[in-house]
Each structure stands twice: as C-alpha cells, then as structure tokens.
Amino acid sequence: MAELIGAFTAAGFRDVQITHQYECFKGTTKEKTAQKFGVIGVNLSGVRA
Amino acid sequence: MTLVCPVDLDSMRLRREVQDMYARVAAAPDGAYHFHRGPDYAATMLGYDAAELATLPASVTHPFAGVGNPHAIAPLPVGARVVDIGSGAGTDLLLAARHVGPSGRAIGIDMTAEMRDRARAGARECGLTHVEVLEADATSLPLDDASVDVVISNGVLNLVPEKERAFAEIARVLRPGGRLQIADIVTGVELSEDIRRDIDLWTG
C-alpha cells in the first residue's frame, strides 16, 4: 500500500490515502491465493496538486 | 497492486486476454469466474446502496466486478465532470451520472466493446443523456489536460502493465484540486519475478 501511495504522490497527487479495505475475494475460488499473497481491495483517495 | 512490470511481459497479449475475459463477463455475468460479480455482492461486501443499484438495469449491474467502492470515499459534487476509467457495463458510471446530475457529465472509458455497449444502452434506458462512453485504455485518455473534476475507477488499474503511465494520464486530465477516488487490489507481500511475469495470474 505504501508503494501505491508513493506512486500516486510521485505522479502529482497530495493527501493520498487508503480509506477503506475489502476482502473482495472472500468466498471465491481464489480466496486461498488471495490470503497467501495478502490480496485485498482498497479505496484510495487523493487530490491533484 | 504490483507497480513494477517485468520488461519482457507481453503487454499486448495481456491486453487481449483482459478484453476477452471482460467480454465473457459482459455476455455471461453469471458464468464461472474467480471474482464476484453483481449487485448483491456490491451491496453486501462493498457497501453499495442496494436500493440505488436496484434502479439500474440488470444488464448494467450483473456484470459489475469491482473490488471496492469509489462512491464511499466522498460524495460526487453536483455539476462535476467525472471520468470512470474502465467503466465496464456502467454501474459506477451511471451512479456517478445520477450523483452529479444533468448539469455535470459522466464519461466512461473502456477498451472492451461489449462493456461499452452495455453502458451506453444502460444510460439510454435510464435517460441519462449526460453520459458519454469512449473507447480507450488507462494509458491514453482521450481527454484534454485539466478537464476533469473527479477520476473514479474500480478494479482496473491492477490490470494495466504500464501503471506509472496510467497514473500520469490521470494526473494530466485532472484539474488542480481535482479528486482521485479509486478502488483497486493491493498485495500484502512482495511478488516474485516469476509471478509478475505470469499473464494467467494477471488476468486471473
């Protein structure tokens, strides 16, 4: 997540933050893989500097 | 989201496979996929308003395959010009159009023809004349510099191999002070080079 925030900040955004997290693969055939790699859905916000 | 793409990843093949995957979802949203779809999933797992989703055509909401909820970040201002990158069948796009109202504009961008067709038909069915759906991908947006108030996206940027190019495009089209409200997937561990190079894993 820090890498993603850093990439948007470098692209010209300020106040970049993760606002929500979701277990979007829960109950799918990829649930175990998602758990293994820590894959989650997130909401991210930022403001164009 | 994996930000670093292997230099030898076949990005054209990845693009084709992503298009094929989402064309299948558009045609058969109730088929077998490795990700959830549809309005029940959106409401129960992502916090969308079920009553609001029920006002949209099933042809729009059933192929929904988002991974988060850009609308939960902040309300879209009335009159805003909003762009949805990877708008798919149009769930987030048509919700955005309703929120900004007829004095605003909701522009969908998608590279899959079947999804664009569904979004356009859904907008017509809902009488949302301030919706426009364009063919493009996230790395080359057909929009003027600083012409957009809000960029939304849901589960799309993780599928783009040239992420830094996509981020630069988003920054280019947003006006200073404009808002980024996106949902996507992230990984909690560093992925090996083999995994990053495996197109089957990129597309699911």
Give how far B115 is from chain A: nearest CA, Å.
21
Condensed to tens digits (0 to 9), the pLDDT of residues B15-46 reads 888 888 888 888 888 888 889 999 999 999 99
User: Is some CB atom of chain B closer than 8 A to the CB atom of A7?
Assistant: yes
pLDDT of residue B54: 98
Nearest to A24 among B67, B175, B189 (CB): B67
Cβ contacts of residue B124 below 8 Å, gap of 6+? none
List helix spans (H) across chain B: 11-27, 39-46, 50-53, 58-61, 91-100, 113-126, 163-173, 193-197, 199-203
pLDDT of residue B6: 54
Is A43 within 8 Å of B70 when comparing Cβ atoms? Answer: yes
Give how far A16 is from chain B: nearest CA, Å.
9
What gap in Å lies between CA B90 and CA A31, rounded to an integer? 26
H or E segment and range at residue B134: strand B131-135
Is residue B159 over pLDDT 60?
A: yes
Mutation pick from A30, A43, A47 vs chain B, by most beta carbons of B within 10 Å, is A43
Cβ contacts of residue B153 below 8 Å, gap of 6+? B70, B84, B85, B86, B138, B182, B183, B184
pLDDT of residue B201: 54
Lowest mean pLDDT among A2-6, B49-53, B64-68: A2-6
Nearest to A45 among B34, B73, B191 (CB): B73
Give how far A5 is from chain B: nearest CA, Å.
11
Per DSSP, the three-state class of B109 is strand
What gap in Å lies between CA B179 and CA B156, rounded to an integer? 17
How big is the A-B interface in CB pairs under 8 Å? 117
- A7 token code pair: 């990439």
Q: What is the ipTM of this complex?
A: 0.96
- B172 token code pair: 């280019």
User: Is some CB atom of chain A closer than 8 A to the CB atom of B165?
Assistant: no
Query: Domains of chain B (ranges plus CATH)?
Result: 11-203 (3.40.50.150)
